[in-house]
Structure 1
Amino acid sequence: MQTQHVLTPNLDIACETHGPSTGDPIILLHGFPYSPRAYDDIAPALAAKGYRVIVPYLRGYGPTRFNSPATLRSGQQAALAQDLLDLMDALAIKQAALCGYDWGGRAACIVAALRPERVRCLVTGDGYNLQNIPRSTQPLDPQTEHRLWYQYYFHTPRGVEGLTQNRRALCELLWRLWSPTWAQNAERYPLSAPAFDNPDFVDVVIHSYRHRFTYAPGDPALEWMEEALTRQPAISVPTISLCGADDGVGPAPEVDEDAEHFTGPYERRVLAGVGHNIPEEAPEATLRAILDLLKG
């Protein structure tokens, strides 16, 4: 494994790279509050099969840095997707297989929906990850609202200060709540926690959870993409959705409510005993899904 810094219009993106530079590219994307450590058992296995594997730190995480202090520390969904497109452009990757969950899954789903020619195939954690922001003000059922407490906390000045002062303890709590049956939380969390010490982490996280509820303006340069996402575009690339049956933030429903958003080859796999941190909790199932699509 090597660490490579990739300069894009907005970021200096730190990426962990595996495998030959001539191999077919696979990009693995982490979520909040996670890091590339989620793919420790997956990236080397793919590299051993000859694939070029790229695992970036998202904006606000680890060694990734903004190029300018004037750039909005946006965490909106379009920013994450644009970062992925910019990374692929900077690395001269015309098309890649994508795997992501949570924030990373959102970036992957958006690129698959809006730029399908850039995506060979997609493994997405929890299905169709595009936010429907115009409907975000509509209340959900109380049980779902309860699981989103942290998002509402981040809407307040108290939440900003809480994340600032207690980022490691707060993120560790989310790990435990979201993966309640995973025995390795205590062992694995310290490996990812240093990534949250990034100087832009708090600003990016707070903006992410405020923008999705229309409580913070987005980056004007990305308004075209946000407008396109309001139409909830379908995903046509070959896709496997991995869902954790024990996911503490969004348990997999019995009926696949996302299937209608996928117009190409599509399969949902519900993983028993797995929470929100899908690739780290279920590396074998994640690897199998990636390879199944690549072989197809």
Structure 2
Amino acid sequence: MNDSQRSTLKVNGIELCVHIAGPENGAPVWLLHGFPECWHSWREQIPALAAAGYRVFVPQMRGYGPSSSPAEIAAYDLLTLCADIQQAMDHFGHTQVVMVGHDWGAVVAWHLALLEPERITRLITMSVPFAGRARRPVIEIMRELYADRFNYILYFQAPGVAERELNADIERTLRLFMQDQDVFLQQKPADATLLEGVPVPGPLPGWCSQENLDVYVQTFTEHGFRGPLNWYRNFERNWQRTEFLAGRQVMQPTLFLIGDRDPVGVFEAHTLKRMPDCVPQLEQHVLPHCGHWIQNEQATQVNALLLDFLGRP
């Protein structure tokens, strides 16, 4: 990881920090992280891809670490997040790239594939599936489904509330997320807080050392959780702004990976079933004994699947 270089770009009205590794003449591969993570989430994939001859580009997404963290909620809508990466690709002169995304990074990657059908030649997404534009904003559906019980996405909606809880002890917050993914599936009253009733975190899992966690902690120490949480506050705006994408399919060859213990698989069960209709060239793998942090929990298997998929004609 020490042989990567860091570049700060002025794109789309912000500064975007991008880590770059691999041979300069290598085919470009972009790795987009999710919540609550950072570029270091790809620490196992960067050296493997670089060693295979790819030029790897790993941004700190808008709101994270040294990248800009605008105050306005609307500054984090989906098309704006996509435009950050589109303009960064323009900056580097990329005409053909592979796009890889996990969690919220997968959401951005899916939509970049729709927006850039010629430039993005292959797509690899992890944890968050795609089944086209919903008939109405997802947040409306969630408010109906979770009217009388807790849901973390609904909890994230009120500006300032979740930030206060998560920022109070950033290392404890991140330890809980990395150690216990069931924190997102808790059964409790609708007016509860995310970490209410959650025990003191125990030892870190084997795939996340203290040194690794320190990188995550530093990322959120910079701006706190406000910017990343603002990604969750644009469901209605995203739905309104993506009307022109309604009915479009993702036509690129696509690899989708998810862990068999990933809480997102519970939330998105219906989307998973519908995904093949929206992604004609789809290859899917469910990784056993694996939760949400898939590229670290099962790094060897993820890397093998990535390199096999990228190495095909």
**Per the shorter chain, which TM-score range?**
0.7 to 0.9
What percent of counterpart residues are identical? 26
Q: How does 1:175-186 map to 2 (within 5 A)?
A: 175-178=178-181, 183-185=206-208
Contact 1:114 1:233 in 2 (8 A): no
**What's the offset of the Cα at 1:259?**
1.5
SS at match of 1:13: strand
Quick check: 1:14 aligned with 2:17?
Answer: yes
Aligned to 1:116: 117
Aligned to 1:192: 216
SS at match of 2:302: helix
Structure 2 CA distance for partners of 1:153 and 1:135, relative to 1, 3 Å? closer
- CA–CA separation in structure 1 for the residues paired with 2:71 and 2:172: 30
Q: How does 1:1-296 map to 2 (within 5 A)?
A: 1-65=4-68, 74-126=75-127, 127-128=129-130, 132=134, 134-139=137-142, 149-156=151-158, 157-178=160-181, 183-185=206-208, 187=210, 188-199=212-223, 201-212=224-235, 214=236, 225-229=241-245, 231=246, 233-251=248-266, 253=269, 256-263=273-280, 265-296=281-312
- CA–CA separation in structure 2 for the residues paired with 1:92 and 1:291: 24
Aligned-partner residue type, residue 259 of structure 2: G
**Bigger shift: 113-122 or 25-34?**
113-122
Deviations 1:209-258 (A, max 9, x none): 2221x3xx57xxx96x52234x1531110001001111134348597432
Structure 2 CA distance for partners of 1:56 and 1:42, relative to 1, 3 Å? same
Structure 2 gap ranges (5+): 184-203
Structure 2 CA distance for partners of 1:185 and 1:43, relative to 1, 3 Å? closer
Deviations 1:55-78 (A, max 9, x none): 110011121126xx6876633222
Aligned-partner residue type, residue 37 of structure 2: Y
Structure 1 gap ranges (5+): none
Task: Find runs of 4+ consecutive structure 1 residues off by over 6 angstroms.
Answer: 140-143
Deviations 1:98-137 (A, max 9, x none): 1111111111110112211111211101322766362431
SS at match of 1:234: coil
Aligned-partner residue type, residue 253 of structure 2: P
Deviations 1:38-67 (A, max 9, x none): 21121111111211111110011121126x
Structure 2 CA distance for partners of 1:42 and 1:55, relative to 1, 3 Å? same
- CA–CA separation in structure 1 for the residues paired with 2:49 and 2:76: 29
Structure 2 CA distance for partners of 1:276 and 1:141, relative to 1, 3 Å? farther
RMSD: 3.1
Higher radius of gyration, 1 or 2: 2
Aligned-partner residue type, residue 62 of structure 1: G
- CA–CA separation in structure 2 for the residues paired with 1:205 and 1:112: 22
SS at match of 1:120: strand
- CA–CA separation in structure 2 for the residues paired with 1:89 and 1:72: 25
SS at match of 1:198: helix
SS at match of 2:309: helix
Contact 2:131 2:275 in 1 (8 A): no
**What count of residue pairs does the alignment treat as equivalent?**
282
SS at match of 1:94: coil
- CA–CA separation in structure 1 for the residues paired with 2:144 and 2:298: 29
SS at match of 2:25: coil
Deviations 1:172-198 (A, max 9, x none): 323333279954346443332211123
SS at match of 2:61: coil
SS at match of 2:265: coil
- Structure 2 length normalisation: TM-score? 0.79
- CA–CA separation in structure 2 for the residues paired with 1:242 and 1:140: 28
Aligned-partner residue type, residue 292 of structure 1: D
- CA–CA separation in structure 2 for the residues paired with 1:138 and 1:71: 25
